[in-house]
Amino acid sequence: MRRYLPEMFSTAAFRLALGSSVILAGVTVLQFSLIYWRTTAYEVERADRLLDREAALMAAQTPADLREQMRLWQTNDLRLLITAAGLFDADRKAIAGNLTTWPETLPVDGGIREITVHPSDQGERLIRAEALPVPGGRILVIGRGLRDLQQIRSIVLQALETCLIPALAFSLLAGIWLSRRGLVRVGRMQLAIDRIMEGGLHERLPVRTGPGRDEMERLAVSVNRMLDRLERLLDEIKGVGDDIAHDLRTPLARVRAGLDRTRLRPQQPRELEAGIDRAIIDLDQCFAIITALLRIGEIDNGRRRGGFVPLDLHQIAIDIVELYEPLAEAAGNRLVLEPGDSVPLVGDRDLLIELAANLVDNAIKFTPSGGTVSVSTHSGRDGPVLRVADTGVGIAEKEQQAVLARFYRSDKSRHIPGSGLGLSLVAAIVRLHSARILVSDATRGGDCAGAVFEVIFPRLAADVPI
């Protein structure tokens, strides 16, 4: 408790509890003020009605009867209702009653005022009183004390203290408890963050399992998901680094060995030229890998979304088929474009051509001579679709997602030249366009005779011009 005391009063929970206590106190005082105001108004109104009624009855009596009643008033029950009364002559001299002096602030007009008097049998009192002329040239003054109002005020104040003080104390104790609870949880999270910053990337912020999580735990869950993502990215970066080193090492080693042989052995000009050409080919392979990685990184940064324009996906398919038909014929395959209509889409034309080119080039490379590669487009239920299918070696089901990773090469493709980055580039372009790619067998669960790549783009918004 003592370790959290300096921070407890600055926490949001304590400040919220303190603010709630102030609001509670204000509302409570307002409620009791309204109760007191309405009760006082009712009591004053009741006293005024009583004074008017008694004054009217006494004023209707004869002078002798009124004087006799004033004499008897001090001994009967009327004294309980009328606490001060006096009968005065025209010169304001007392004739009967317990008021022996004329109240100077009370006009003789029958109106009721609140005044202070000094009855002969009582001390100083605050009363509601009225003065009115009565038969015989005399003046009658009657009044009712406000002792009941003073008692009501005392009761209201006592009730306010009884309610307000425990409520404020409870609110402050609740604020202290909530502050301490929040500080304990924040302390645990800080310890976890410290361990993460020290290199423990497997550490996560503490959260409860099951429903009923509060906002701090929901935030911790989001942070944990972010940490999961960062850990996977770091693992991927480490893996990519290893793959880059592995893939560059082989061609660079060949270049070095070839240059060593060329330098140590006497060479004819033709043999020297052939050695240089082999070195250039190997260096070109290294450059191709580096260029592809930079290209994937550029696309993943999402900086090219500014170049998105409305275009026709089917026209892109037509251009790609025309471009790759000679390559397919050279490989002894057929490249077929399925008939279709215009398929509107919003995207980067150059990148979509690169995407389609990689898929078609990949299909031609992995389709044995005599096979067929078909390209089609259509507007699907979920959006525009580009489909590339082949009759090649196919992709095992367990590898259908792995082939989209950088540098992944299946056992069936290791004999075919390539960097293992073509489909990774396709995946990056798909992510940039918020699309998704599906990889499946051409025979739908058959003997892997052929592979199918389907890229499904988001549905075009209705207000996009085509």
C-alpha 37/C-alpha 67 separation (Å) is 38
Contact 333, 298 (CB under 8 A): no
Q: How far apart are the first and last CA of the chain?
A: 67
The token pair at 197 is 């910053």
Given this model, what pLDDT does residue 106 score? 87
Name the β-bridge partners of 202. Answer: none
Given this model, what pLDDT does residue 322 score? 92
DSSP code at position 461: P
**Interstrand relation of 84-88 and 94-97 (parallel, antiparallel or unpaired):** antiparallel
Given this model, what pLDDT does residue 454 score? 93
- Nearest-Å Rg of the Cα atoms of the chain is 50
Determine the 3-state secondary structure of 463 from DSSP: coil
How distant, in Å, are the alpha carbons of 192, 387, 404, 408, 460 from that of 421?
38, 20, 8, 8, 29
Given this model, what pLDDT does residue 335 score? 93
By residue count, the chain amounts to 466
The token pair at 340 is 């279709």
DSSP string across 177-229: HHHHHHHHHHHHHHHHHHHHHTT-TT-------SS---HHHHHHHHHHHHHHH
Helix-helix angle 147-197:12-59, to 10 degrees? 170
Per-residue pLDDT of the chain (466 residues; tens, 9 = 90+): 555 566 666 677 777 778 888 888 888 889 888 988 888 888 889 889 988 888 888 888 888 888 888 877 777 777 777 888 888 988 888 888 888 888 888 888 888 988 888 887 677 888 889 999 988 888 999 998 877 777 888 888 888 888 888 888 888 888 788 888 888 888 888 898 998 888 888 888 888 776 677 788 888 889 999 998 888 878 777 766 766 776 777 778 878 887 887 777 766 777 778 878 888 887 887 777 777 777 777 776 666 666 788 899 999 999 999 999 999 999 899 999 999 889 998 888 888 998 999 999 989 988 888 889 999 999 988 899 999 999 888 887 777 777 787 766 666 555 566 667 788 888 888 888 889 999 887 765 545 578 899 999 988 765 555 5
Class of residue 423 by CB neighbours under 10 A (exposed 0-12, middle 13-18, buried 19+): buried
C-alpha 147/C-alpha 381 separation (Å) is 85
Contact 128, 114 (CB under 8 A): yes
- Look at the alpha carbons of 67, 72, 78, 81 in this order and tell me if their dihedral is positive or negative: positive
Given this model, what pLDDT does residue 356 score? 92
Contact 52, 112 (CB under 8 A): yes
C-alpha 52/C-alpha 66 separation (Å) is 16
| CA quadruple 232, 237, 243, 245: dihedral, nearest 10 | -150
Contact 115, 101 (CB under 8 A): no
Helix-helix angle 215-264:269-300, to 10 degrees? 170
The predicted model scores a pTM of 0.49
